[in-house]
Amino acid sequence: MTDMPEKRATGCAGRLSLKDPALLRDLAHIGGRWEAAFDQTTFTVGDPATGEAVGEVANCSARESAGAVDAAQRAFAGWAARTPQERAAPLRRWFELMTRHREDLARIMTAEQGKPLSEARGEIDYAAAFLEFYAEEAKRPNIEGVTSHLPDAEVELWREPVGVAALVTPWNFPSAMITRKAGAALAAGCTTVVHPSAETPFSALALAELATRAGLPAGVFNVVTGDAATVVEPWLDDVRVRALSFTGSTEIGKLLYRRSAATVKRLVLELGGHAPFIAFADCDLDQAVDEAIKAKFATTGQDCLGANRFFIERSIVDEFCRRFTERARALTIGPGFEDRDLGPLMNERAVAKQEEHVRDALDRGARLLCGGRRHEAGPLFFEATVLADVPAQALIFREETFGPVAAIAPFDTEEEVLARANDTEYG
């Protein structure tokens, strides 16, 4: 590591109209200090809505990655030795600080991730709630009595922190996925090293700033920015990293699973999803359409829990399509700071995937009811799209779309739709 004067992206903070510019940090947070990369390199974080730079962030190397584990390991014994109440107190203060700085945190998120400001505010509430929950969960007894197979014997299960936990988080929920993972680990007495997506590091660094203000000791919560392979790979081989929590693609999850085997890490993997949405003929159709719109188009469809495949009973499929398409056409599209319904997709790869899935479905006989192309708001915006009569062989029914494209198909029987809903390699 190299010591650097405290540095903040003050220029961008002004453009974002932050009440507290100190929340916009551009250095890694390691061992309670703000650290530049040893070679002083940085990478650019862009606003997907405009293409403009949000700022430059430290491009950390394996050196800083190892330094974060060093710091977390040094802090572990002291943090684990604290009483549950002593661990809960800074988590509670962290929650309160997130609530107090809700607007600034939301504006930072919208700038780097692109989601509408109203959704960003909602995510900050959601993220803060994890800290509130785990602050209370930390106080629960960690000893459980179990019936013994021996006479006159008693068995007690003691839950102990395992050590350093590595947390690898995605760009689509850049605050909530950190607090969900870190809140649990810290409440248990573990220390953490965090790698946020290189596309949304500012949200993670703002959380690190508030964690410090909340009183988390140096080394308990470390954030290392930069290329994922460079930062995370050393953690996979480090025996001091006893647990790994990852949210991201199934492909990368499989890689982490294999690589973690040699050091027998505890793993929590939240990978890709391909959720079905099923509407039967006796449903409340208005409510079904309302729920379908939310399930598909929240976060511009960039949600691993969002619905991708819509199975509608044949007797109501035409009316469902009519109402659903009408609602989809009415969704507004634009930059997140204009607080439209749909923001941009994260990058060009994401837009190209929408185009590929739409083209493939149409080539296989699907009907385009609305959308299907890029939106005039900018190169990373895509229209809310509805496809009907999508065949089972279409890519959009086989792969996670991760965008604002809804694929609809009719079904006739409960047995048929359950078989089709489960006909996927995704969990």
- Residue 267: CB atoms within 10 A of its CB come to 14
Which residue ranges make up each domain of the chain? 2-145+155-270, 275-421
The pLDDT of residue 5 is 39
Its pTM stands at: 0.94
Which position has the higher pLDDT, 153 or 394? 394
Compute the average pLDDT of residues 145-167. Answer: 91
d(CA 331, CA 310): 19
Residue 113 pLDDT > 50: yes
Q: Do the strands 307-313 and 405-411 form a parallel or antiparallel pair, or are they unpaired?
A: parallel
For 274, phi then psi, to 5°, come to -145, 55
d(CA 369, CA 132): 44
As given in the structure block, the two tokens for residue 129 are 């709630």
Task: Scan for tokens 């190299």, then name that residue.
Answer: 2
Cα 261 to Cα 97, 239, 240, distances in angstroms: 38, 11, 14
State whether the Cα torsion 271-64-206-9 is positive or negative.
negative
What are residue 245's DSSP bridge partners?
A: 167, 268
Compute the average pLDDT of residues 65-81. Answer: 99
Residue 10 pLDDT > 60: no
What are residue 225's DSSP bridge partners?
A: none
Residue 196 pLDDT > 70: yes
145 near 158, Cβ under 8 Å?
Answer: no
As given in the structure block, the two tokens for residue 38 are 């040893």
Residue 132 pLDDT > 50: yes
Sort 187 into a burial class: Cβ within 10 Å, 0-12 / 13-18 / 19+: buried
Residue 13 pLDDT > 80: no
Mean of the per-residue pLDDT values for the chain? 95
d(CA 22, CA 279): 48
Which helix (DSSP H) or strand (DSSP E) does residue 107 occupy?
helix 102-113
Which pLDDT tens digit goes with each residue over 157-179?
888 999 999 999 999 999 999 99
The pLDDT of residue 6 is 44
Side chain identity at residue 255, one-letter code:
L
Compute the average pLDDT of residues 41-56. Answer: 97
The pLDDT of residue 158 is 87
Which pLDDT tens digit goes with each residue over 248-295?
999 999 999 999 999 999 999 999 999 999 999 999 999 999 999 999
Give me the CATH code for the 275-421 domain, please.
3.40.309.10
Which pLDDT tens digit goes with each residue over 198-220?
999 999 999 999 999 999 999 99
The pLDDT of residue 239 is 98
Q: Which residues are catalytic?
A: 270, 304
| Fold exhibited by the domain 2-145+155-270 | Aldehyde Dehydrogenase; Chain A, domain 1 (3.40.605)
Residue 146 pLDDT > 90: no
The pLDDT of residue 145 is 86
The pLDDT of residue 4 is 40
pLDDT category of residue 9 using cuts at 50, 70 and 90? low
Q: At what angle do helices 176-188 and 201-214 cross, to 10 degrees?
A: 40
